[in-house]
Amino acid sequence: MSKIRITLIDGSEREVEKGLSLGEIAKKINISLAKEAIAGKVNEIKKDLNFKVNENSKIEILTFSSEEGKEIFHHSTSHVMAFAVKELFPGVKFAIGPAIKDGFYYDFDVEKPFTPEDLKLIEQKMKEIIKKDFPFKRIEISKEEALNFFQERKEIYKIELLKEITDQYITLYQVGNFIDLCRGPHLPSTGKIKAFKLLSVAGAYWRGSEKNKMLQRIYGISFDQTSKLEDYLRLIEEAKRRDHRKLGLDLGIFSMHDEGVGFPFFHPKGMVLRNILEDYWRKEHQKSGYWEVKTPIILSKSLWIQSGHWDHYKENMYFTKIDEEDYAIKPMNCPGGILVYKCNLHSYRELPLRMAELGLVHRHELSGVLHGLFRVRCFTQDDAHIFMTPEQIKEEIKGVINLTDRIYRTFGFSYRVELSTKPENAMGSEEIWEKATKSLEEALKEKEISYKVNQGEGAFYGPKIDFHLNDCLGRSWQCGTIQLDFIMPEKFDLFYISKIGEKERPVMIHRTILGSLERFIGILIENYAGAFPLWISPVQVKLLPIADRHLEYGKKIGKKLEENNIRVEIEEINEKIGAKIRKAELEKIPYMLIFGDKEVAEGLVSIRKRGKGDLGSTRLEQFIEDIKGEIEKQSIF
RNA sequence: GCCGGCGUAGCUCAAUCGGCAGAGCAACGGAAUCGUAAUCCGUAGGUUGUCUGUUCAACUCAGAUCGCCGGCUCCA
């Protein structure tokens, strides 16, 4: 029997018999690898485990621990779900059923939407299918045969998909008696799916377009081990426990009301938090050479026509009338900033001119997208507009990246970066867009930051870099954005006087770092589960007297703490110390100071740290010194 | 905006087939003055989101409407 050479991912080579399947090769490499094998890659192309290798190749065996393996695993589970749905609801038509970041979904066209009870039935059926360990069979047929096959079954969505495939041969996959159009690869058999759960049903448009029919989408997740499913479900529970909408209300940070849907109300504790963030933000921006401005919320329609918002952003804007004249509530801060720039004649010596604004903008978002502080109809952008010469672009962008990085780190966030290019409704020439996009790319490359490109997702006036924060549960949130703009300066005829005394056109950067103060506060609440780091905690210290007669001492030390700019509250409720502690713990206050006869007599305080417990007693002066140091450090623990 | 689910006291949740709306926590009053996550007793709290209808009778059934939740689309 002839032999072939295979190269493994670690670079090692070995000789095997020609015509072995990937699964058999896996067994030769390592028996436990063969057990875990999901599919494989031959010369970078994903293949089923029963794919026979007939020539020298680079081989990789995929398991659940790789992203690609996981994806195949989820995708196969979606086929199992579709099979179950076919068994239980014979009339359904099948759309698409891909793997997604967390699990998979399948879109079905059904007469009646699925109910939660239906999900249980489907799960039950899936269990049966998995138990029977059906093999996934790959079928290769001509495009014409495939068309006939799906036409007979009136699978209109599959036919639509098929028509777009230009390959001569089409692959189908069969599990039991469910045959689906699919590129594969798949698990060898359904028995590999050790744990799965159907999570939710939701309406979803065919091909994501509002113009198309709404289908029923079932979301699910699956794992190769039961314990992983349990971990995942725990994570979902944990996320629910941290929900900023609930915590925000409980901790007195903000509230929402029917009287102003999408417009958050900030409560006293929330304002403390917000003001701390703003103070910190201002300090950082002063250090980085920014000036701060404030521009009005309502501005004349003519300004929005000139800026292009009237043509490109009207759907999202609110309007009003003043003295019979049309006005708009600002959805962005840039036109206001531009008017400030235009007040003076600017020399090249002033550039780059960095103008920051904590600007309150209003945007009409569709009612269905509103979500706590994460998605609102009015929010405060930590905006800035930088006016500069074309030569300064790259350095300025790098400067913004540095500032962003520093601010995110302060809160303990890592992040990833995306670059969005020219959208369909863009203003300005192809050439300008190309130049702008290139500057952003170059800055990222020089900073050695890896990024993902989103084709066609830029703003209408320019390409952008987006920053996505990762929180402690592994979720990500869009916050910062850097948008390069050659168009507004043109529209508003901005200029500066160059070295040789001529008028030159500046370039603009629009940028945010926190993104929206409101959203950022929501993220902080969830990331810290409401237990804020000391330096941003609305209340830093709670004073807990053992008995009523110690209240007076408490007021004295409260005053001393206040004199040292420490945010303090005293507990005056008539309760036992255990109850007072419990209350303070639930309020997630970082430090509790407890004092009774002993402390009053000796001028001490007993320190209790949130989540940690009793730290013993110390002199008040010592505590003040320590806590001031800790606040100064902006420690995130 | 679209699809589905849900709206009962400040919060968390009960109320059988359509038959007088109830509990815990919180609040308030009182007793106890207590040493590191809940002391005990009492009081008050409601047009069951809103409107319309069916019915002898509606928290319960139907329709409309507002809001919330999960998604789709969109996004800071």
Percent of all residues in chain A with a pLDDT value above 90, rounded to a whole number: 64
Residue nearest to nucleotide B75 (CA to C1'): A375
SS3 content of chain A, % helix, strand, coil (to 5): 40, 30, 30
pLDDT at A53: 82
pLDDT at A13: 85
What phi and psi, each to the nearest 5 degrees, are found at residue A108? -120, 145
For the ranges A75-79, A343-347, A433-437, A627-631, which has the lowest average pLDDT?
Answer: A433-437
Strand B neighbours among A 563-602, CB < 7 A: 573-579, 581-582, 585-586, 592, 594-599
Residue A210 has pLDDT above 80, yes or no: no
Q: Is the CB of A365 under 7 A from strand B?
A: yes
Q: Is the CB of A287 under 7 A from strand B?
A: no
Q: Determine the Cα–Cα distance for residues A22 and A271; give it in Å rounded to an integer.
A: 61
- Whether A464 is a known active-site residue: answer yes
Q: Is the CB of A332 under 7 A from strand B?
A: no
Cα torsion angle, A163, A165, A168, A169, sign: negative
Could you identify the residue written with the tokens 């300025």? A396
Q: Determine the Cα–Cα distance for residues A332 and A334; give it in Å rounded to an integer.
A: 6
DSSP H helices, A379-516, are: 393-410, 430-446, 487-491
For the ranges A7-11, A258-262, A543-547, which has the lowest average pLDDT?
Answer: A7-11
Q: Is the CB of A253 under 7 A from strand B?
A: no
pLDDT at A177: 87
Where is A15: in which H helix or E strand? strand A13-17
- Protein-to-nucleotide distance from the CA of A112 to the C1' of B56, whole angstroms: 37
Among the options A74, A125, A138, A464, which is catalytic? A464
Residue A232 has pLDDT above 70, yes or no: yes
Strand B neighbours among A 173-202, CB < 7 A: 200-202
Radius of gyration of chain A (CA): 31
- Whether A510 is a known active-site residue: answer yes
Strand order through the sheet with A503-504: A346-347, A496-497, A503-504
Where does the pLDDT of residue A250 fall: very low under 50, low under 70, confident under 90, or very high at 90 and above?
very high
Residue nearest to nucleotide B33 (CA to C1'): A547
Q: Determine the Cα–Cα distance for residues A48 and A23; give it in Å rounded to an integer.
A: 9
Q: Which nucleotide is nearest to A483 if distance is taken from CA to C1'? A: B76
Q: Is the CB of A209 under 7 A from strand B?
A: yes
Strand B neighbours among A 254-273, CB < 7 A: 256, 258, 261-262
CA atoms within 13 A on the CB side of A179: 15
Stated length of chain A? 637
- Report, in ranges, which bases of strand B sit under 7 Å from a protein C-beta: 1-5, 12, 27, 31-39, 66-76
Residue nearest to nucleotide B2 (CA to C1'): A210
Residue A609 CB contacts under 8 Å (≥ 6 apart), including other chains: A590, A591, A592, A615
Mean pLDDT of A291-305: 96
Neighbours of A262 (CB within 10 A): 18
Where is A121: in which H helix or E strand? helix A116-131
Q: Closest Cα partner for A288 from A170, A368, A424, A400?
A: A400
Residue nearest to nucleotide B37 (CA to C1'): A582
Q: Is the CB of A502 under 7 A from strand B?
A: no
Contact indicator for A419, A464 with CB cutoff of 8 Å: yes
Among the options A216, A381, A392, A483, which is catalytic? A381
pLDDT at A112: 79
pLDDT at A113: 80
- The structure tokens listed for A26 are 């896996």
pLDDT at A550: 95
Q: Is the CB of A516 under 7 A from strand B?
A: yes
Omega before A113 cis (within 30°)?
no
Helix A393-410, helix A430-446: angle, nearest 10: 50
Q: What is the pLDDT of residues A450-480, one digit of tens each?
A: 998 988 888 888 899 999 998 888 888 889 9
Could you identify the residue written with the tokens 């700019």? A565
- What is the per-residue DSSP string for A459-491? BTTB-EEEEEEE-TTS-EEEEEEEEEESHHHHH
CA A448 to chain centroid: 22
Q: Tell me which DSSP letter residue A2 carries.
A: -
Could you identify the residue written with the tokens 């045959």? A179
Q: Is the CB of A432 under 7 A from strand B?
A: no
DSSP H helices, A330-374, are: 334-342
Among the options A180, A224, A383, A466, which is catalytic? A383
Q: Is the CB of A102 under 7 A from strand B?
A: no
According to DSSP, the β-strands at A325-329 and A318-322 are antiparallel
Cα–Cα distances (Å) from A412 to A97, A512, A553, A636, in that order, read 37, 18, 37, 7
* pLDDT: which is higher, A50 or A306: A306
pLDDT at A193: 92
- Protein-to-nucleotide distance from the CA of A260 to the C1' of B52, whole angstroms: 26
pLDDT at A15: 84
Q: Which nucleotide is nearest to A610 if distance is taken from CA to C1'? A: B37
Cα torsion angle, A329, A333, A334, A340, sign: positive
- What is the per-residue DSSP string for A230-299? HHHHHHHHHHHHT-HHHHHHHTTSEE--GGGTT--EE-HHHHHHHHHHHHHHHHHHHHTT-EE----SEE
What phi and psi, each to the nearest 5 degrees, are found at residue A613? 105, -160
pLDDT at A1: 64
pLDDT at A612: 94
Q: What is the pLDDT of residues A516-573, one digit of tens each?
A: 999 999 999 999 999 999 999 999 999 999 999 999 999 999 999 999 999 999 999 9
Where does the pLDDT of residue A163 fall: very low under 50, low under 70, confident under 90, or very high at 90 and above?
confident
pLDDT at A361: 96
Where does the pLDDT of residue A240 fall: very low under 50, low under 70, confident under 90, or very high at 90 and above?
confident
ipTM, two decimals, is: 0.93
- The structure tokens listed for A108 are 């079905």
Among the options A46, A86, A217, A510, which is catalytic? A510
In the chain, the amino acid numbered A466 is: D
Q: What is the pLDDT of residues A103-134, one digit of tens each?
A: 899 999 988 788 777 888 899 899 999 999 99
Bridge partner list, A85: none
Q: Is the CB of A609 under 7 A from strand B?
A: no
Q: What dihedral do alpha carbons A189, A121, A86, A216 form, nearest 10°?
A: -110
Domains parsed from chain A with CATH numbers? 3-63 (3.10.20.30), 68-238 (3.30.980.10), 268-295+346-527 (3.30.930.10), 534-632 (3.40.50.800)
Q: Is the CB of A614 under 7 A from strand B?
A: yes
Q: Max Cα separation, chain A?
A: 95
Among the options A385, A422, A511, A550, which is catalytic? A385
Conformation bin of residue A43: beta by default, left when phi > 0, alpha when psi is -120 to 50: left
Q: If you average pLDDT over every residue of chain A, what do you get?
A: 91
pLDDT at A168: 81
Contact indicator for A106, A75 with CB cutoff of 8 Å: no
- The structure tokens listed for A550 are 């110690």
- Give counts: helices (H), strands (E), chain A: 20, 36
Q: What is the pLDDT of residues A38-87, one digit of tens each?
A: 998 888 888 888 888 888 888 888 899 888 899 999 999 999 999 999 99
- Whether A383 is a known active-site residue: answer yes
Residue A394 has pLDDT above 70, yes or no: yes
Q: Determine the Cα–Cα distance for residues A160 and A181; give it in Å rounded to an integer.
A: 11
